[in-house]
Amino acid sequence: MTHQENRLENTMNYAELKMRVMDVKGVGTEERADELIRAIAGHVVSRVDETLAHDITGRLPEPLTFESLREHDTGLGSATTDQFFDTIRHHFDLRKDRARQV
């Protein structure tokens, strides 16, 4: 199976993902939802080795590609989970429980 076929077979719908993120109180707009999705997915993809990163992004919907997410490295490569969520919370002005919910 090619990478593209794998992507089509195993992916979720990006519009549905964005709507779920927008449902989190405090997110609000599509633009903020896009930014949050890219920041969180980019952080995850940047913390793992390239092979695993390709596997992860192969299961994500367009436009969440390996190339686009590696650009969204948050600079928190060695951050703990709590530190990461604190950064997301402050950057997007979300309550701590809302940042974890996203």
Query: pLDDT, tens digit, for every residue of 37-49?
Result: 998 898 888 888 8
Alpha-carbon gap, residue 102 to 97, rounded angstroms: 9
Distance CA 16, CA 88 (A): 21
| Domain ranges, ordered by start, for the chain | 3-101
User: What are the angstrom distances between the C-alpha of 69 and each of 37, 86, 102?
Assistant: 10, 20, 17
In angstroms and rounded to an integer, the radius of gyration of the C-alpha atoms of the chain is 14
Per-residue model confidence as pLDDT tens digits over 39-97? 889 888 888 888 999 999 998 998 999 988 876 555 555 667 787 778 788 878 888 78
| Helix, strand, or coil (residue 102) | coil
